[in-house]
Amino acid sequence: MSDSTGITPTSDTQEGPTRSGTLFGLRRKPKNTGATALSETLEQENAWAGLDIHTPRGAVLRNNPRAARRGAYAPRFQGAPTTTRQGGILNPALLAQPSHTDAIAIGNDKLTRSMVAHDPFSAYHRKEITSPSVIILGIIGSGKSSLLKTVYVARPIIMHKRRVIVADRKDQNGEGEYGDLVRSLGSEPFKMLIGSDKGGTVLNVLDPNITAVIGQHQVLSLIRAMIERADNGQTLTKWENEALRVALSTTLRDADNNGRVPVLSDLIARCGRMDGHHEWDDLRPNAQDRMHEAGLGLRFVLNRTISEEMEGLFDGPTSAHVNLDSKLTSFDISQLPENSPAAGMVMAIAQTWALGRIRRERGWATYFCVEEGWDMISGPIGRALKAQQLLARGLGLATVTAMHHIRQVAAEADGREMLQEPQTIHLFRQEREEDVEACIANFGLDPQSADTLRNQPEGHHLLKIGTNPEIPIEHIRSTLETHLTDTDAAMIAMTRKG
């Protein structure tokens, strides 16, 4: 009796190979010859008779038992013409990589319907990305604020060794929208109010927490950025830069000699003074006059903006209650004038101050979240903060910036270069064609994603992580999170329910 392979077992008593072809106790049937072989060949040819190989017609089954015994028993399928783009759906591994377990759930991949999870800090430590910073772009009503509040605020604060700092910009009944949530976690928002009699929080740009971490040179860059931002972006001249450098150096030295913390008013008083600056002793009288005038110009700008227009924000020691003891820290800038440079200055000083505290409290991963944070990545303040990015990465601080569109970033090279820093990019709907094209060019998207960017419904976006292809995501929230993030009173609603 033969099996399906066409090989017949021999008797147990037969020894060794024979002329008939037995080997290892098996005897192979002799090959079909003559009329039988010719008959099988004709059968196979007739099966294909009249068929056009370029026309898909399903499968031709080789159901001849003799052919099956020779191994030709599988059906031969005729392929259909296709393209590599159409065939991509047949390989799910090309559509989305499996999510890591040490990550935060974001939503579902719209192609595979699988869950997508990502955590910039974990991805950075795995060297999948070169920066943990995040940028979120989308028009009003596209869902970017809901994503920010859910993925980068509500979910991280319940994780071990994670904390969040927010620059709370939205006014909700006289304070920022995160106020009650901060209180529910045992802290108070830091209210930034103009007016020394308002009892607001003060941030000192010369605070030892700042100078000890970023150094005098970076403090100089930060103060220069504040002056340029307050003076409508006017760049300091080389004389003004020198006058500011010497004034800052003298201020810090005098404070250290007197054993006290320097404040911005000390620096203002030093600008324009010629005494105590021995490095200017060899200047000619006309050069000294010019340096004196440059210092006076700085004093006038600082007096007008910092001491008058922004009174109570920066003109004193940092308020004693400012700390990072809570899982959620809020710098409430909701009451600052909308078009004032004060908000950008607060965000810059707050982030720099946070670096100082983080350096003394290692082991935490911290998100610094800013809505409408174009000041953080463009203009004088963006240039000053750019130099701190390497330090921020090393200390575990990631900036999460949400904006409407790229046009909010100045067209200069520095602003666009800062857009290349974030390696986690969430792109919600964009309406204007120039914004769509700018997203594709700046973030290295597939040009065919342009139509997706124009037509994404609310809550849907493209997620670009490092150099990986963008993934179409549907942001998924729980019932509580939906109630939490859909209205301006979201943060209040959560605490009243909880």
Instruction: Determine the pLDDT at residue 195.
Output: 87
Q: Identify the CATH homologous superfamily for domain 99-188+321-497.
A: P-loop containing nucleotide triphosphate hydrolases (3.40.50.300)
Least confident of 32-36, 161-165, 219-223, 321-325: 32-36
Residue-wise pLDDT for 353-383, tens only, equals 888 888 888 889 999 999 877 666 667 777 7
| Cα dihedral: 204, 206, 208, 210 (round 10) | 90
Q: Across residues 81-87, what is the average pLDDT?
A: 69
Burial 30-64 (b: 16+ CB within 10 A, else e): eeeeeeeeeebeeeeeeeeeeeeeeeeeeeeebeb
In the chain, what are the domain boundaries? 99-188+321-497, 210-307
Q: pLDDT by residue (tens digit) across 201-212?
A: 999 999 988 888
Could you tell me the pTM of the whole model? 0.75
Per the CB < 8 A criterion, the answer to whether 336 and 190 are in contact is no
For residues 292-300, give the mean pLDDT. 93
Residue 71's pLDDT is 63
Q: Which two tokens stand for residue 215?
A: 């150094």
Where is pLDDT greater, at 89 or 351?
Answer: 351
266-300 burial code (b ≥16 CB/10 A, e <16): bbbebbbbeeebeeeeeeeeeeeeebbebbebbbe
319-354 pLDDT, tens digit per residue, is 989 888 889 999 999 998 877 788 888 888 888 888
Whether pLDDT at 288 is above 60: yes
What the block records as the tokens of 175 is: 């304070």
Confidence of residue 26 (pLDDT cuts 50, 70, 90): very low
Whether residue 4 contacts residue 72, with contact meaning beta carbons closer than 8 Å, is answered with: no
Interval 284-313 mean pLDDT: 88
Structure token digits, residue 341: 């440079």
pLDDT band at 423 (very low <50, low <70, confident <90, very high): very high
